[in-house]
């Protein structure tokens, strides 16, 4: 029993060993929230499919420190994002700004949707037309004759 207690105590102690991520200090909860919101908006350039929040890359740690420094100094979100874009380009933003080079990225899907609707409409129209081809005069007469109600006394 005593062994188990010792093991548990050691495990707890090892879990709280100060590692690379020492707890950060913020003046209030709102500031901490802003810090985390900003990190999730920023892409880590070393491991490109992770945000700065998730990445364990060395550079990500450095950049988290930068963001932390700026947030606690009272810099606005816009200033922090500008700092990052100045250095790493629009690519660091998970939501890139709308501009000439990103126009296709933002509106391409809608253009494709519009094209698809146009194609679908034209396709269904041409099919409808194909189902009911125009009749010649003689064919029209035959149809009329066939559709005329039978005369009295005549039986089938």
Partner 1 sequence: MSRYLLPLLIFGVLLGLLAIGLGKDPRRVPSPFIGKPAPVFDLPQLHAPEQRLTMEMLRGHPLLLNVWASWCVECRHEHALLMQLATERQVAIYGLNYKDPRADALRWLEEWGNPYVLTGADQDGRVGIDYGVYGVPETFVIDATGVIRYKHIGALTEQAVREKILPLLADGGGGTR
* Residue choice 31, 72, 85, 93 for contact with partner 1 (CB under 8 A): 85
Report the alpha-carbon distance of residue 83 to residue 67 in Å, rounded: 9
Nearest approach in angstroms of CB 3 to partner 1 is 42
Q: Which stretch binds partner 1 (CB under 8 A): 20-28, 44-52, 71-79, 140-148?
A: 44-52
Nearest approach in angstroms of CB 156 to partner 1 is 44
* Residue choice 54, 58, 79, 139 for contact with partner 1 (CB under 8 A): 58
SS3 42: strand
Report the alpha-carbon distance of residue 97 to residue 105 in Å, rounded: 10
Of 9 and 104, which CB lies nearer to partner 1 in the complex structure? 104
* Residue choice 54, 62, 77, 82 for contact with partner 1 (CB under 8 A): 62
String of DSSP letters for 102-156: GHHHHHHHHHHHHHHHHHHHHHHHHHHHHHSPPPPHHHHHHHHHHHSPPPTT---
């Amino acid at each position: 029993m005593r062994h188990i207690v010792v093991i548990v105590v050691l495990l707890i102690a090892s879990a709280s060993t100060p590692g690379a991520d020492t707890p950060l200090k913020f003046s209030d909860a709102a500031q901490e929230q802003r810090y985390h919101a900003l990190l999730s908006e920023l892409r880590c350039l070393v491991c490109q499919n992770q945000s700065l929040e998730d990445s364990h890359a060395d550079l990500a740690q450095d950049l988290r420190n930068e963001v932390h420094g700026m947030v606690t100094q009272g810099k606005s979100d816009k200033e922090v994002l500008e700092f990052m874009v100045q250095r790493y380009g629009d690519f660091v933003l998970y939501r890139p700004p709308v501009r000439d080079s990103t126009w296709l990225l933002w509106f391409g899907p809608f253009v494709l949707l519009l094209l698809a609707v146009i194609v679908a409409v034209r396709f269904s129209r041409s099919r409808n037309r194909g189902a009911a081809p125009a009749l010649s005069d003689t064919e029209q007469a035959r149809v009329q004759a066939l559709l005329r109600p039978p005369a009295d006394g005549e039986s089938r």
